[in-house]
Amino acid sequence: MEKVTLNLKEQNRLKVLNDVNLKKMTIGQAATLMQVSLRHAKRLLASYRKEGASALAHGNRGKLPRNAIDESIRQQVINLAKSKYKGFNQQHYSEKLREKEGVPLSRSTVRRMLLKEGIASPRKRKAPKHRSRRERYAQAGMLLQTDGSPHDWLEGRGPELCLIGAVDDATSEVVYAHLQPTETTAGYIRMLRAITFSHGIPLALYHDKHSIFKVAEQQMTLDEELAGKTPQTQLGRILEELGINSIAANSPQAKGRVERLWGTFQDRLVSELRLTGASNESEANQVLKEFLPDYNRRFTVQAREAGSAYRQPSPDFKPDQVFCYKYTRVVGIDNVIQFGKQRIQILPSSHRQSYARCRVEVQVRLDDTLAIYYEGQLLKIKPAPLEAPVLRKQVLTPVPKNINKPPESTPTFHPWRQYVHR
């Protein structure tokens, strides 16, 4: 007879039934002690007398349940977790099993399999401090949270990159994400341009106190402080021209929605990049482009209020004149301005012949092309000719006498070469 191990409840029932057999108690008292009906107590006693103690064990004990997962499937899940999908979190891995491998298992089932094999979730979570979470904004487009996330996205297969992105506070939709080498003003300008054309102009932008967004107080000049002027960065000027309210967060926790987004991306997106073997910026952005719609489909929520607060640009909106760098220069008397190492000649127009001493605006587009405006009018320009060289008399050293060949450190005297170019 097969040996059966009884649990504590079944051992207590065995003791009671033995007392019934020894005439120490009645079957009615036994039913009360076992907390079963009299009929079921008689059934247990009859089975015990016929089959012994094994009759008290549950009939399915030691048998596989009808819905048990096949051992080959369990082994497939374990092998994939150790190879192809190594480093995926349990929820992400269960999604990949269902969509890519045709294994429709729940997250809890996958988690139980992996833990039994000793494979814990790679994502470590710290116990959070107590903070009060504010309510979401009511409508999409009322507030976007933006930030840059420098991280080893390619896990050593390529250069470290920075993810520039923005998430809608009302819906958690990631309205923009792009990987680039570093966090730059140009990256945020491209972000605002893309969002303007894909969704519209948001009401407010929530960001950190990076110098890209705001000029530090210690960088203000004395004239600006005395005049009461607040200097602007290039991005701050663009936000003002678009009518976007710029809000600076006082802590990373204050913009928790975008910070949590980076935590999710550093888990899921890194795993997707590893799965495709992306090893450079271009390949990584291609994976991100395919990853983003699927992410938004899974995690976007419905706003409390229907409709959209995004504003559409006016028909006469000129994006190239907004999404650019702008600098002010004073034109010289020869109608030339100096911009960096370049000297640019301003040509006469039908409005005026000379722009000498005028204050013009130099616009540098994202493709590095230049455009110069005066009072909203685009000016015609061309590279200015080089300045005439400044001549300076050469200091000559006389040749020593009685020496056939002068030493190398002594310049040779040429009576006709009295001047050299500086």
Is the pLDDT confidence value at 68 over 50? yes
3-state secondary structure (DSSP) of residue 47: helix
- C-beta separation of 10 from 59 below 8 A: no
pLDDT at 347: 93
348 vs 222: which has the higher pLDDT: 348
Is the pLDDT confidence value at 264 over 60? yes
How far is Cα 336 from Cα 37, in angstroms, rounded to an integer? 107
- C-beta separation of 202 from 310 below 8 A: yes
Structure tokens at 53: 């103690």
* Domain boundaries, given as residue ranges, for the chain: 8-56, 144-299, 324-383
Residue 412's pLDDT band, with cuts at 50, 70 and 90, is very low
CA angle (335, 341, 347) in 5-degree steps: 25
Tell me the HSE value of 192 on the side-chain side, using a 13 A CA sphere. 31
Is the pLDDT confidence value at 65 over 50? yes
How far is Cα 91 from Cα 50, in angstroms, rounded to an integer? 50
3-state secondary structure (DSSP) of residue 337: strand
Computed over every residue of the chain, the mean pLDDT equals 85
Is 3.40.605.10 the CATH number for 144-299? no
Q: If you write DSSP's letter for every residue of 130-152 in order, what string do you get?
A: P-PPPPPPSSBTS-EEEEEEEE-
Q: What is the DSSP letter of 294?
A: H
Using the Cα atoms of residue 214, residue 217, residue 221 and residue 222 in order, give the sign of their dihedral.
Answer: positive
Structure tokens at 165: 């992105």
How far is Cα 174 from Cα 177, in angstroms, rounded to an integer? 7
Scan for tokens 């229907």, then name that residue: 306
In this prediction the pTM is 0.67
Structure tokens at 73: 């499937």
Is the pLDDT confidence value at 403 over 50? no
Question: In 3D, which of 353, 347, 372 has the Cα closest to residue 362?
Answer: 372
Question: Fold for domain 324-383?
Answer: OB fold (Dihydrolipoamide Acetyltransferase, E2P) (2.40.50)
